[in-house]
Structure 1
């Protein structure tokens, strides 16, 4: 486990009378300690012993796995939109011998069958930035998936509590407060007497629209790496150096909501583009924006994988690869990703790497020496550096 470049630490959790060991990767939610909201929700679970539980947004398993340990005869489904978090929750389920826990990727309720058996409990630590439309859908669609005696319990940051109470009044939800901590509140809704399936609204995750390179992209709530500095300073650095001559095949890693893949389709109409991301929300918006802007089709291959190396087929090589290194993922992850990119290139191919200048100074000298990578700086501007990486073929 510790040899995995994503490994950050191991946390020991005591909850519900059980002790668990949780291995934690870099670059996911709450890597330093178990989140306070999760701990508060674990102290305020429903009293009814569940036959089935859904952990919505499971992360690396800090909520769902203690429940699985406490109720070994129960069916525990755990879902997350981040495939890296899913992979580590699966590892932690195996590590703790929790065979009743089933972990898989899902963007909200999207990938759960409407014909699936109902749940006695639905639990969620609600992301602070996910947006009001999703919070409403979380409750409405969740109520439709509860058993007759079921209950949905969610923990939110204190600032969201008034909004949730307001939404309950607007929609007639029988919302009750079940617990309160210094920074979080636990709410509950019991299953209604009658309910029907709730379809996912088309604009459930839509935040706004941004214009980049003359095209208008739909942008979702709560997608990492989309701060104003990156949009106004980092992304233009990369766009300025994209090749004028069209490559045949392009690999784009950390494809966000589609800016670089779709700009690539616009500039290189005949190129085969592979867009890779581990976040199901990001990949959903890559596909959405491609359809909206007229660039969907066989020449844009959207791949959802936890790790870059898993997205590249054994006999697959690219003329061009484009990647942005994640500061929060750490140096070992950057080393593994750069090595995978260099191996994925054709003999004469190149990878364009966008990175913060401070990360370039701290990490890349050591990485290039250890892995014998050939990497040169093309330019630096506004705190970002653009680097060229050549093939290991």
Structure 2
């Protein structure tokens, strides 16, 4: 990730255990990390996005959440294994179990294709409510969801910026004005 290796542990049943997911790797190439960002990795899996944010934004605090208890366990282990102490990893379905007083300058997600558009839309609404003015929300999706994300970001945030479209994945960003 960004030229600096991490040591990851994972297990069967967590998204993309064989190797790092191409969509997440593509996303990390285009996120504009700032030293003081406070971030949330929405659907963290075993921690790739949130751990990278924690390393690239050492002055911030970073929240990694997932609704799968094994993903949370392995994300926690991976943060400890790699010496990251500016992280909070816990079980949450979307923002349901994120402290109400926490807000974020950076939201990242590799949106699962099979969750359903209604659930994605709720994530976008919840993220908007928890983001700071000027905050950025980056998502990577399979190309089949790119028009939905563009339309939804425009409805929720008032803007949508296609950062990169590849053969399989699209990266889209919205900013809270």
- TM > 0.5 fold call: yes
**Counterpart position of 1:120:** 105
Q: Aligned pair in 2 of structure 1 residues 169, 120: CA closer, same or farther (>3 Å)? A: closer
**Counterpart position of 2:136:** 151
Deviation sequence 1:223-281 (CA, Å, 0-9, x none): xxxxxxxxxxxxxxxxxxxxxxxxxxxxxxxxxxxxxxxxxxxxxxxxxxxxxxxxxxx
State the alpha-carbon separation in 2 of the partners of residues 30 and 131 from structure 1: 19
Q: Aligned pair in 2 of structure 1 residues 172, 108: CA closer, same or farther (>3 Å)? A: closer
**Structure 1 residue 170: Cα displacement:** 5.0
Indicate the structure whose relative CO is greater, using CA pairs within 8 Å and at least 6 residues apart.
2
The match for 2:15 among 29, 38, 49 is: 29
1:107 aligns with 2:93: yes
**Counterpart position of 1:142:** 127
Question: What's the TM-score once normalised by structure 1's chain length?
Answer: 0.43
**Counterpart position of 1:130:** 115
State the alpha-carbon separation in 2 of the partners of residues 184 and 38 from structure 1: 10
**Counterpart position of 1:53:** 39
1:226-305 to structure 2, matched below 5 A, reads none
Equivalent pair of 2:160/2:174 in contact (CA under 8 Å): yes
The match for 1:93 among 64, 79, 84 is: 79
State the alpha-carbon separation in 2 of the partners of residues 131 and 39 from structure 1: 23
Q: Aligned pair in 2 of structure 1 residues 130, 18: CA closer, same or farther (>3 Å)? A: same
The match for 1:186 among 167, 171, 174 is: 171
Q: Aligned pair in 2 of structure 1 residues 59, 171: CA closer, same or farther (>3 Å)? A: closer
**Structure 1 residue 18: Cα displacement:** 2.0
Equivalent pair of 2:128/2:156 in contact (CA under 8 Å): no
- Larger radius of gyration, structure 1 or 2? 1
State the alpha-carbon separation in 1 of the partners of residues 60 and 162 from structure 2: 26
State the alpha-carbon separation in 1 of the partners of residues 156 and 135 from structure 2: 19
**Structure 1 residue 166: Cα displacement:** 3.2
**Counterpart position of 1:70:** 56
**Structure 1 residue 47: Cα displacement:** 5.1
**Structure 1 residue 71: Cα displacement:** 2.2
State the alpha-carbon separation in 2 of the partners of residues 110 and 95 from structure 1: 27
**Counterpart position of 1:236:** none
3-state SS, counterpart of residue 124 of structure 1: strand
3-state SS, counterpart of residue 52 of structure 2: helix
